[in-house]
Amino acid sequence: MYYSWQDVRKAFFLTPIPLLMMTSLLFTVQNHEYRISSIVALLVAHLLIYIIFCIVCAPVGLLLSWFLNKYRLINVLTILMSVILMITPFFMFLGWMYTGKEIKSWWEYWDGAMLLFTVFITASYFLILKWLHGKRKVIRLSKKEDITL
């Protein structure tokens, strides 16, 4: 199926938001920190992660999405493979930034939680893309012609 470039771009930048909201809620509940200062600090940290995502993953991800969309190959499997391709360097960069140590083997990141995050990101990207594609307005000119905006 072919999607408009605006839908692909919007879906790409909206995809990490549900995961970031879910993790911030889980961190708040897990640590029993309900003070405003703790919540604001957590939201600022998640905003920084989103900005790093936009800087590190956006150029490659948008180019890959454009390529897949051009050849009408956007489906769940290609999105999953693309997410694995893009998120491995992202996690390596975040791990290096957090610990200061470089991990030699890239497959050490793929434990149960990372696979769960990857599947969640894939599902949210595909569902947001389908939602944006279905949101298009159809103007009925006559019974035979329709214009999609």
Residue 98, exposed/middle/buried by CB under 10 A (0-12, 13-18, 19+)? exposed
Q: How confident is the model at residue 10 (pLDDT cuts 50, 70, 90)?
A: very high
pTM greater than 0.85: no
For residues 133-149, average pLDDT: 62
> Would you give the DSSP letter of residue 72?
T
Backbone phi, psi, residue 146, to 5°: -135, 145
